[in-house]
Amino acid sequence: MIIKNAKIFDGENFIEENAVIIEGKFIKKVLKDSDLIQDEINENKLIDINGMILSPGFIDLQINGCGGVLFNDDISIEALKIMNETNKKFGCTSFLPTLITSPDEKIEKALELIKNNKDKEEIGVLGLHIEGPYISVEKKGIHRPEYIRVLSDEMIQKIADAGPEVTKIITIAPEKAKVEHLKTLKNAGINIAIGHSNATYEECMEKKDYFNCATHLYNAMSQLESRKPGVIGFLFNNDTANCGIIVDGFHMEFAAVEIAKKILKERLYLVTDAVSPAGTTDMKEFLFEGNQVFYENGKCISPSGTLGGSALVMSEGVKNLVEHVNISQKEALRMATSYPAKTISVNDRYGYIKEGYIADLTYFDGNYKVKGTVAKGNLTEY
């Protein structure tokens, strides 16, 4: 397959080349239309995208569900396939299905599901994001307090033994974690994110060597105050952690995103934290690990007024970054492609349009409406 007449963003910059040759599930060549030879044209299906932007497929490192399903409620390959098909409609070709605070049995089931499916990347799954239960009750958000607990030797060892091929990120509140547990996870190659934490600045500093990510910046974490810098102060003042951020206009003001971007620069990446209504049009309410959540006017909210995830999709997040946060188009695209790829160390095959990389691509019009997505070399047009 050849995609031609494209405005190519390669994961870093917009480039002069405007055509991509895909062979199997890999990118074979990136070149100019004028450099295509007749044999290549004859041997391939030709897709002319009429000057639309062609970007690496978006990568979402925190997504609880979409398309009417929630991973917490349906830990199955079928649910992951629905999430993947929904994601692709909005340019997202890779994701971390995210399991929020739940009993050990669910964590073990999720670990086994991913461990036993060696072809998980074929349906967009790069690994798990285990968000809780090792978090702060004070900063629980929608998470159920009765399931929040301290890390156990047994569960930490199970997660570590399964390794980074199964769990890419685990969210932990530093004030709830023992150094030996953090060390076990880090030595196993698992990314550890600060999140749902009421830690002091000092508590964060004591364990800074173990945290290289942060979960939904600003939300469910101790705030920056003049005498109590908290988790946010720690993240702003240290360059050790990359931070995910939800740019839906509900989780924070767009100005707060702009402030964070000026401070964190390339350490800030886009996530959706999406739940089942994302990518649908007809849901009005749902249960999130047993908690009732209403969906109205684009917002997912509990009866008590707590946000319960988002209905954001990645293409809309990119659009919001450009139109409401005053971020350049190429920087917004980096936040959805190469930055998340670097965060979980898959940037040797994902997050860029380069020869030899996985053929995960998306193209969209001037309003960021996705018109086609290539996932592992297979094109779906919308």
Length of the chain: 382
Dihedral sign for Cα atoms in the order 12, 15, 18, 21: negative
Angle at 248 between CA 55 and CA 195, to 5 degrees: 95
Whether 365 sits among the annotated catalytic residues: the reply is no
- Residue pair 95/83 in contact by the 8 Å Cβ criterion: yes
- pLDDT attached to residue 288: 87
**pLDDT, one tens digit for every residue, the chain (382 residues):** 999 999 999 999 999 999 999 999 999 999 999 999 998 889 999 999 999 999 999 999 999 999 999 999 999 999 999 999 999 999 999 999 999 999 999 999 999 999 999 999 999 999 999 999 999 999 998 899 999 999 899 999 999 999 999 999 999 999 999 999 999 999 999 999 999 999 999 999 999 999 999 999 999 999 999 999 999 999 999 999 999 999 999 999 999 999 999 999 999 999 999 999 999 988 888 888 888 999 988 999 999 888 989 999 999 999 999 999 999 999 999 999 999 999 999 999 999 999 999 999 999 999 999 999 999 999 999 9
Whole-angstrom distance, CA of residue 132 vs CA of residue 136 = 9
Whole-angstrom distance, CA of residue 293 vs CA of residue 183 = 36
Burial of 153 (0-12, 13-18, 19+ CB in 10 A): exposed
Q: From the centroid of its chain, how far is CA 168?
A: 11
- pLDDT attached to residue 222: 98
Residues 6+ apart with CB under 8 A from 82: 66, 67, 68, 69
Identify the DSSP state of 178.
-
Residues 6+ apart with CB under 8 A from 297: none
Whole-angstrom distance, CA of residue 310 vs CA of residue 274 = 5
- pLDDT attached to residue 230: 98
Please pick, among 60, 248, 273, 360, the residue that the annotation labels catalytic. 273
- Residue pair 302/294 in contact by the 8 Å Cβ criterion: yes
First to last CA, the chain: 17
- CATH code given to domain 58-343: 3.20.20.140
**Residue boundaries of the structural domains of the chain:** 2-54+357-381, 58-343
- Residue pair 244/217 in contact by the 8 Å Cβ criterion: yes
Dihedral sign for Cα atoms in the order 103, 104, 107, 108: negative
Identify the DSSP state of 57.
P
Class of the CATH-defined domain 2-54+357-381? mainly beta
- pLDDT attached to residue 290: 82
- Nearest alpha carbon to residue 11 among 347, 381, 363, 321: 347
- pLDDT attached to residue 282: 84
Q: Which amino acid is at 106?
A: K
Q: From the centroid of its chain, how far is CA 245?
A: 9
Identify the DSSP state of 200.
-
